[in-house]
Structure 1
Amino acid sequence: MKSKWGRLRTSKLIGRKRECEMLQTAIEADGELRVVYVTAPAGVGKTRLLAEVPRLREQCANVEQTKILPLLDFYFTDVQSNSSLEERILSRLDRGPFATYLERRDEFERRRKDGWFESGIEEQRAELAELFIQGFNEFTKNARVILRFDTLELVQYEPDEVQKVFGLEERGIEVRSWLRTVLPRLKNAVVILAGREKEKPQVWAELQDAFAPVLGEVQVLKEADARSPHVMMRLGSFSADETADYFEDLARVNPRIKQARISRDDARAIHEKTGGDPLNNAFFSALIVKNARLPQDMLAADAQDIQQRLVEEMTHLQDGLDFVIPFMGWMRKGLNAELLHGILASRPEYPDWSQKECERLLEVAKDLPFIKVHEESNLLFLHDKMYDLVDEYILPGRSPVEKEAVCNVALAFHEEGSPEWLYYKLLLNPADGFSTYQELSDEAILGNEYGRAMRLRDEMLRFFGELLKDRSPAARRPWERRIARDAAIRWIRQYLAQGKFKAAQEVSDRIWAHDDPPFDRPPDDPLFLGALLLNRGEARGYLSQWDEGLDLLGQAIEVLSAWQPDTQADKKRRARLLGIAHRDRGYIYRSLEDYSRAKEEYREAIRHQSELDDLGELASTEKNLAFVFAQLGDFHRADEYITLSLDHFRETGSRWGTASSLNVFASINVDNDQPDRAEQPCRDALEMLSEIGDSRTMGLT
């Protein structure tokens, strides 16, 4: 399939001469760390300049001593965690210098899966970062590495209402912290960071502060010279002459632009309408090739009419674009031939195109100036500004059935539980998608995957930010309240999961004392009230404040037991919370050596946990109930429940859980005067704990 209209991209980068010179100078500064920021609003050419860097490298005197890595774009969640970002960098480097780092990273991931860390996860992650830096600097003794990062504004998590009201800081274990702490310590490297400075100014300020002790204060481009190691480039729109240069170059590669005979005066007239914005210039070029002339009426139209007509014309540049562009408007996580073919096959009214035909159409689409291609995945995206225009002028007229077809195909394509997958669940049905987010976040917190929990949260917050931005305050309020209250509970659960019980108590008490919306406690929200009471009680239980803990947990159980949820998702949340509340009361009674009451609470916990798919929580409660039965002298029941616990822990793959249950199994047999049955479980537990590195529990074993 060939484009009807020919190439719509210039043969070379237009303008940016000073910027290119500075980038070449940075590449040629052997042995030094050089940092260049590239900032601009959407549509001005940040990504285009980043794409020029490989060509600039080829012109450098030290090209043979340099290594350029693929673009690392924070739009994609696979580079929004430390481990995955480090792996993307490592994938193009010799892994030899990173041997110690790789060994410790494997150990870190095993411990995360096992659910055990000898010290806090932040400390373990900091140690890994240190080893990564050592490996990188060993590698760069023999090669200069060029790192390019795009969409930098997305590394700052969206602040939720809890952070705003109570001043909570996000955890420092993810990419935002990694950039600040790792990049300034790299040697013999060029670091290019691009994004929209005005959207998240704090990210840029933090990075400049981090690099300043090493490289000195940042210098703006016009004040910098060849020796400047720390430079800020703020890209602007084209000048009138650069707009004319753009159309002249395009005429060399596109016969229809040449046929239209766009003079430099014509280009200046276009410049008056576009303000020199590169993307708007590109829209005009597409309009010219479609008409083989410059439509003079467009030069007389107002800005809104121009935008609407341009977008409508864009969708008819090529057969197939009239449905591909709306699809891309929904598919914010990218489109490829496999996805396009799946969507077309899902509806009888769509063209019956093979996947090969879809590939050919998308190859043509790559030449359009408002479409971007991700280097490694080959996924196609609309330009950011084009997404806004498609939202305004095209998607409102499309059928909900089309959107459903797009979402279902995308959900089958993306990994279940990933932030990309969550986006399409939210797009398909925001209410159901939010419930899915809650389940995924619960799972991540329980699995010590705090970075994943934050990425899921960020995806959800961005989605609802876009969904609600144009709605009235009254229409926004129910969602804002629901999201804020869920965030409040989630912050406390993270503190509890990390063993930060004092912080959990303080934050939960501050939320309880806050009477203003959205953190007030109306009777129509038993989920929020019950969860908040539960968390306050759990924190006190683990701080040995037994009486207060039992009282608050009892209140939580009363509220949640009286609640009759309507949806299946809320029924699962109710069962989860009641399971936790009874488990926590069982823990307190066990600590008080009131084993009869502990037994009843653990049994109730298991009744609720059995309604869920969380075998890890169930196995832990079964282990505790087995211990309690042994203390009550009922060794038959103790043996029954510890066997269930071991089976369930083994099914989850948790070696730490399995080892802890083996310990309890051994102690039950010792208490039952059967020490011969205790020896092998102890040996098995010791072997597992030794592999995990849990010396404390080994001592108890």
Structure 2
Amino acid sequence: MLPQDFTTDVVKTAIQLVVENAFKYGLPAAKRKWEQVKKENVGKTPAFALKGDLVNRESVMRAFNAALDERDTTRVIYLCGPGGAGKTRLLEEVSRKITNSTKSLRWAGIFDLYHTDLHNILRLQSAIIESLDTDKRYFAKYRDAKEQFSQKRRDGIFSLTPDASVHAEVAALNQLFVSELNQFTSRYRAVLAFDTLENIADEQDLIQQIFGFESDKGTLSTKQWLLDLSRTVVNTVILLAGRPNPDLRLHLEQINQANEGRVEVIEIGGLTRSDAAHLLNAYIRKAPRPIASLLTQNADRVWQITKGLPVQLALMVELVFQTPQILENQGAPDVSETGKEIVRTFFDCENPDKRPLFFLALARKGLAPDLFHFLEPKWSKEECAQRLAKTEQLALVKKRHGDNELFLHDALYELFDSYSSYSEREIADWFQRFFEYYQERQREESGDRSRWEKSTISLLYYDLRRDSLKAFYRTFVRWSEIAIKGYEMELETQLRNEVLICLHNDSKYKQVAESGFTETIFNQDNVVRWIERLIMKTQYERAAEVAETFLIFGPDEFLMDSRLPLIGLSERNETILRTIISTAPPIFWASLLTYYGESLTYLINRPERQINTVLLKAIELLESLTLDKDHPLWWFRNRLLGRAYDRLGYLARVKGHYKSAVDYYHKALPFFKDTEIDDEYAFTLNNLAFVLALLGDAQQGRARAEEALGKRQKLGQRYPLALSYNTLGLIRALEDPGGHSGQQDCEYALSIFEELNTPRGIGLACNALGFILRKRGDGWKMSMCTPSQAMQWYEESEKFLERATEILLDGEKIRLWEAYNELGSLNNDWGCLLRSLNNQQGFQQRFEKSIGYQWQALKLAQENNMGFQEVDACDDIAQVYVDLSNFDEARKWLERGKSLIPSEFNLEKSISAGQHNSSGEIYWLSLGKLQLREGILEIRKAGNIGIDEDPISSGTRRLLSSFLYFQLYSTHPRFLERKGREVAFTIRELAISRKVVDDAIQQLEREYNLHLSVLLSALSQG
């Protein structure tokens, strides 16, 4: 923006000229002249300062022409000068010359970096390509690669992709752009122009500076990209224009060290006295005689006050035309009040001919015919377009290349802001109309990401000027959360920049200043945004460290652990951070604790109790905020509540507290539904579905999974959709282990993952298919399939699981554990099949492989604090030794498994305490499996060495009591029926007499005062 005192001087001089002129000729004569002017110009837009020929810029144009005439070399011209010097006008002249040229030049247009959407490098590259290659004969590889990248983003892949992978893809696109541009310039000489370069400084926010976070734009900043482009392209002219930027100039001039003469810096300033007079004459050529005479006679004074800047000269002409009303006043005019009158006349919203200028003064995101028609519906779109076309001829009006939107020069924005006499209420009402327009556009353009983003940025801009604090939480926080989650860092940066512009440039507006929105509030929120970004970049330890720093500085009630280490900060930075949070409201602490808790859930060395405490404290704070739906914090509060409950559900699930996980997931869902966060609603629903299936309620789990699937189909993100198919397939397999429908779902999921080339997804689908095919192969044990069919399924299962281990080796440890554990179980089942076929060598090899894989699973569980997974591996190793009849070794592994289970999981205490209802704790399931295994071991060991009935009775009791543990895990009928059949099948397979079984059942029923009807029913079906 121009310095306010500069614009004030121009306004003051315009008033003084008219006043002095009146005294010179006498007030009556001056009035008559101006009345004549008014009559002659009824219905005319004040537009005498029209765009015309350049004055005294021949040296600049010679430099431009020389660069255009060269061949096979790249020339970079940096045009720097103050605002209003005519830099944009010079670039427009290049455009005119190239358009009229027959040379093999290709003009890409002027890319004005005033617009934050062009700070998105990929969008800027696409805009250049579309301008240069209108016939789409070149850049095919780039277009394909860019579409694949965009499709991945639309498919939701980046939200679950490591940060480095995304950076690598963006870097590859950048390289491909340069490569294809150089192929294009091997035939044509390209001309690229970039305006308003002062807007691309590498600014870092305060939190980023203090903690030393790297730039979060994905790869290069716009500035660095332009510098790299200037170094690497061939046969290209790059024209850069902007206000003086010493840092940018230094970096550009350094390019000459390796490529001498490639970069030329041209400084332009105001015109000389004579040149300014010449331009003034051009501007007033069509002006009424009194105005022309007044300005001509005072040309020197005009030159001095405008510093010879062409835009200021044009502004002076327009202002003088607006000053006749001051002749109605008596005495010396008040500059401030008279200035307001002049500006009111110039931007008169009541005058149809001047209304475009009024709307342009407000429409800082551009005024196009559609928006003009929305604001002024009595005019058709065609009439609106005609009026804007007429306004475009003003020297003070700009048009963005490739768009139909008009903008005013900064000088007019500054004039309007400094002297507007419109009330804050009037302006706010118009901003409301702008907001409504972009709200409608945002809904209509949801299918076009580029247009949707542009509308979202404009929506935020006008919302911030209605009520900044409400807009910050209602619009910025909402879309910033979505942008970070979707790895749309360019959008997130644009949103952030709009807030900073509002804070730094527009704080003088009453509706901004009185809203209560301050930079401190922005910095408080930015703390949370950075923690969220670090979580998305999988930098969980760093995220936790940053959160803990603020917890140490904050109130004691939020410090969950007094032993937290403090990141080394300077005394100055520590003081800054303490100041930022000294006035922090509850929503800050609640959001900080929510994301701190989330970061902790991914750290294997943090105690579960600590994480629960953090997240529950966040929930307590959030639930203490009673807000109605119209409150600006309502959406954010509910979003955080949904997230906190979801993360508690996740933590409970990975720790084996399945019943608690179900409860937490159920609590999270309404918050995601109310806030219309459909993707997270589906995510939570999908996880809930699988936990329900693990608890034995496969039917309800399937219903929930299908609901999540339907939601994701509407969202159109293929990666989450494939995750839903994978989950649904696993649930179907749990519901019907021998069926084929689950396999079909997972195969379809795998095909999507492979098409999208997502390693994590492929690994998950391979794990699922390995499990399903193993379960189908196990059908030979109950004569549900032939041994040869089982062998075929086992072979397919092995291929999938081995592929999973390769893919997941450097990924999620829990998924790698699943692959190793499944391979161990597969080889054990396979060995049993081979032994039944008398294949001695084959079954020995399979059992050895089984133990090897289970050892790998065990080691992984130990290294990564996987409690029940370690127990599970011990149990599975014991199973192999039981099948090998190595009972002593099996006993050691069973005892080791039991020793890992917390002491509170005690059958006698739990049943005597009346805990008959399902607790959903995985350790009850583990104890049931261990008890079943111990029973098998005792009976088989007794049979091998011919021991009397006591071990048989004891073993039978263990077999039957395993069902009590299963019942403590889940009381769902289908789960218990399945476990009852499993116990009954084992008893029949071990040929235990019915009398021994009945005696043991009676003993257990008397001892625990329970009726084992489900188990009895399963036994009777034999």
Aligned to 1:430: 468
Aligned to 1:601: 664
Q: 1:462 to 1:551 in 2, by over 3 A?
A: same
Aligned to 2:80: 39
Of 264, 270, 285 in structure 2, the residue corresponding to residue 231 of structure 1 is 264
Aligned to 2:930: none
Q: CA deviation at 1:125?
A: 0.7
Task: Specify the structure having the higher radius of gyration (Cα).
Answer: 2
Q: Is the 8 A contact 1:44 1:278 kept in 2?
A: yes
Aligned to 1:70: 109
Q: 1:634 to 1:125 in 2, by over 3 A?
A: same
Query: AA paired with 1:629?
Result: L
Aligned to 1:220: none
**C-alpha separation in 2, matches of 1:246 and 1:380:** 24
Aligned to 1:591: 654
Aligned to 1:386: 412
Aligned to 2:752: 688
Please give the per-residue CA displacement for 1:530-568, whole angstroms capped at 9, x wherever unaligned: 111111121121122243323322222222222223544
**Worse-superposed segment, 231-240 or 428-437:** 428-437
Aligned to 1:421: 459
SS in 1 for 2:92: helix
Q: Is the 8 A contact 1:511 1:519 kept in 2?
A: no
**Worse-superposed segment, 360-369 or 143-152:** 360-369
Of 627, 639, 642 in structure 2, the residue corresponding to residue 565 of structure 1 is 627
Aligned to 2:596: 536
Please give the per-residue CA displacement for 1:65-108, whole angstroms capped at 9, x wherever unaligned: 11011211122344232222111111123334322222221111
SS in 2 for 1:64: coil
Matched, 1:551 2:613: yes
Q: Is the 8 A contact 2:348 2:358 kept in 1?
A: no
Q: Is the 8 A contact 2:467 2:511 kept in 1?
A: no
Aligned to 1:141: 186
Q: CA deviation at 1:354?
A: 4.6
Q: CA deviation at 1:414?
A: 4.5
Query: AA paired with 2:619?
Result: I
Q: CA deviation at 1:471?
A: 8.1
Query: AA paired with 2:759?
Result: S
**C-alpha separation in 2, matches of 1:595 and 1:691:** 33
Q: How does 1:401-420 map onto structure 2 within 5 Å?
A: 403-404=430-431, 406-408=433-435, 410-411=437-438, 414-415=441-442, 417-420=455-458
Q: CA deviation at 1:10?
A: 5.3
Query: AA paired with 1:556?
Result: A
SS in 1 for 2:394: coil
**C-alpha separation in 1, matches of 2:386 and 2:732:** 69
Query: AA paired with 1:626?
Result: A
Query: AA paired with 2:711?
Result: H
Q: Is the 8 A contact 1:505 1:536 kept in 2?
A: yes
Aligned to 1:152: 197
Q: 1:657 to 1:4 in 2, by over 3 A?
A: closer
**C-alpha separation in 2, matches of 1:568 and 1:143:** 57
**Worse-superposed segment, 389-398 or 233-242:** 389-398
Q: Is the 8 A contact 1:580 1:605 kept in 2?
A: yes
**C-alpha separation in 2, matches of 1:5 and 1:189:** 40
**C-alpha separation in 2, matches of 1:192 and 1:616:** 44
Matched, 1:369 2:414: no
TM-score (norm 2): 0.61
Aligned to 1:655: 718
Query: AA paired with 2:714?
Result: E
Please give the per-residue CA displacement for 1:93-135, whole angstroms capped at 9, x wherever unaligned: 3334322222221111111112224653221111111111111
Q: 1:156 to 1:651 in 2, by over 3 A?
A: farther
Q: 1:693 to 1:355 in 2, by over 3 A?
A: closer
Q: CA deviation at 1:645?
A: 2.0
Of 560, 563, 578 in structure 1, the residue corresponding to residue 641 of structure 2 is 578
SS in 2 for 1:192: strand
Of 499, 503, 514 in structure 2, the residue corresponding to residue 464 of structure 1 is 503
Q: CA deviation at 1:688?
A: 0.5
**C-alpha separation in 1, matches of 2:437 and 2:725:** 43
Q: Is the 8 A contact 1:4 1:317 kept in 2?
A: no
**C-alpha separation in 2, matches of 1:486 and 1:532:** 9
Please give the per-residue CA displacement for 1:344-374, whole angstroms capped at 9, x wherever unaligned: 34xxxxxx54544444433332233322233
Q: CA deviation at 1:449?
A: 1.2
Query: AA paired with 1:378?
Result: N
SS in 2 for 1:418: helix
Query: AA paired with 1:49?
Result: L
Q: CA deviation at 1:319?
A: 5.5
TM-score (norm 1): 0.87
Query: AA paired with 2:352?
Result: G
Q: CA deviation at 1:607?
A: 3.6
Query: AA paired with 1:37?
Result: Y
Please give the per-residue CA displacement for 1:382-423, whole angstroms capped at 9, x wherever unaligned: 210211111121254475275256425643675455211221
Identity %: 26
Matched, 1:9 2:50: yes
Of 259, 262, 277 in structure 2, the residue corresponding to residue 244 of structure 1 is 277
Q: CA deviation at 1:332?
A: 0.9
Q: 1:574 to 1:315 in 2, by over 3 A?
A: closer
Equivalent residue pairs, number: 672
SS in 2 for 1:468: coil
Query: AA paired with 2:673?
Result: S
Q: How does 1:618-697 map onto structure 2 within 5 Å?
A: 618-672=681-735, 673-697=737-761
**C-alpha separation in 2, matches of 1:630 and 1:187:** 61
Q: Is the 8 A contact 2:348 2:355 kept in 1?
A: no
Q: 1:476 to 1:289 in 2, by over 3 A?
A: closer
Q: 1:496 to 1:180 in 2, by over 3 A?
A: farther
SS in 2 for 1:92: helix
How big is the alpha-carbon RMSD for the aligned residues of Structure 1 and Structure 2? 3.4
**C-alpha separation in 1, matches of 2:348 and 2:645:** 62
SS in 2 for 1:191: strand
Aligned to 2:787: none
Q: 1:366 to 1:694 in 2, by over 3 A?
A: closer
Query: AA paired with 2:612?
Result: L
**C-alpha separation in 2, matches of 1:472 and 1:568:** 17
Aligned to 2:904: none
Query: AA paired with 1:590?
Result: R
Query: AA paired with 1:526?
Result: P
Matched, 1:274 2:312: no
Q: 1:10 to 1:591 in 2, by over 3 A?
A: closer
Q: CA deviation at 1:331?
A: 1.2
Aligned to 1:25: 66
Q: Is the 8 A contact 1:414 1:421 kept in 2?
A: no
Query: AA paired with 1:188?
Result: N
Q: CA deviation at 1:265?
A: 6.8
Q: CA deviation at 1:691?
A: 0.9
Q: CA deviation at 1:189?
A: 0.7
Q: Is the 8 A contact 1:71 1:150 kept in 2?
A: yes
**C-alpha separation in 1, matches of 2:151 and 2:644:** 29
**C-alpha separation in 2, matches of 1:446 and 1:34:** 41
Q: 1:585 to 1:203 in 2, by over 3 A?
A: farther
Query: AA paired with 1:333?
Result: K
Q: 1:25 to 1:501 in 2, by over 3 A?
A: same
Q: Is the 8 A contact 1:626 1:637 kept in 2?
A: yes
Query: AA paired with 1:520?
Result: I
Please give the per-residue CA displacement for 1:32-53, whole angstroms capped at 9, x wherever unaligned: 1211112222212111111111
Aligned to 1:519: 580
Q: 1:546 to 1:204 in 2, by over 3 A?
A: farther
**C-alpha separation in 2, matches of 1:243 and 1:317:** 32
Aligned to 1:224: none
Query: AA paired with 1:246?
Result: L
Greater length-normalized contact order (CA 8 Å, ≥ 6 residues apart)? 1
